Structure 1
Amino acid sequence: MTIREYVYSKAVTCCFIGIGLVTAGVIIIAGGGGWRMVLMWECLGLIILAGWLVCGYFQSAGRLQRLKDKVSQMDEKYLAGELLEKPSGAVERQYYYIMKEISRAAIGAVEEAREKQEDYQEYVENWIHEIKTPLTACSLILDNGGDARKLRRELKRADNLTESILYYARSRTIERDTQIREAKASDIINRAVMDQMELL
């Protein structure tokens, strides 16, 4: 943030102070004061205004820099909202509370995504262990002469496991991979039985 940007952000306040200084000058002249007194008060007012702007700028710039330094050192930058210093201004405090809510929502979303990722990883790991069983069985069957019926049964088990992980993966994007339509229960049951004949 540059000092120009900071002054621009205080433009409305500066305008009102300027109007106040002009009004004070008019009142001094109307009260019989000379131009020298008006000039003195106007200069004093401008010096105070400039001092207020400069002090405010350095204070705000310092706060921003401290926050940037903290954020740059963070691995999980979505936690930055928890580092915000509570401001003194009424409007800034409202922004502060809003940012806190957003930060907490982001933390919750990240935690939820992390839990889902862990569940998915655990499911995949379990699936890998399960798929090894029919594959090992197929290898043993082939080593022992290759009973075709047993081999088909184990291949079907492997196929079922593959379908299960595909179904799980698709369930994570249900709006794209799910079709809802009318169907006869008998057709679904017959198809399921036919698909699993190798295991019966």
Structure 2
Amino acid sequence: MSWQPPDAAAAATAVGGVAGVSEAAAKQSEVLEATLKQEAEAAAAKKALEEHAAEVPRAEVAAAAKEAEAVNHVALAAEAEQAAAEAAAAEAARVAAEEAAAAEAARVAEEAEAAEAAAEKIRLEKTAAQAARAEKVRIEAEKAAEEQAEAARLKAARAAKKEATEGRRIEEKEKREEEAAARARA
């Protein structure tokens, strides 16, 4: 794996998604190792400089100090690279988390929509069943009303027939009585 500048690492992380996260982590590890090595070299150079400072002429001390400063500068640059790699890894992790959250939100929305559709279907089925029961009750009520009306009509017809028959009997009886009275007078 070759080293890339922080901007290229961030771009690779943004494009690569999860693969970019692991690459950024590996890069961060490499940068950290390089930083530690450079810091150790700087500390060793400084220690050597301090041990031989009394014996070494002033020009050599200045050169050694310059070298230590250069090593320190390299260490600072490595720390900056490490910070950039950490930032790239954090950004990749944030993007992955946002994508996971968006996917979860979409899944929850789909489940809610499916549950709402199922509830609507159940409501429509209940409404249809209630309408069917109401229609059945209405038909039965109409049939019962027709049967009662027919029974009442038949009863009224029988009563009218009976009344008519009774009326004729009374008339015939009165007629017979009148005829009997007329015969008795004659």
Structure index of larger Rg: 2
Q: Would you say same fold, with TM above 0.5?
A: no
Interval of TM-score (by shorter of Structure 1 and Structure 2): 0.3 to 0.5
The normalised TM-score by structure 1 is 0.31
Counting helix residues as a fraction of each chain, which structure ranks higher? 2
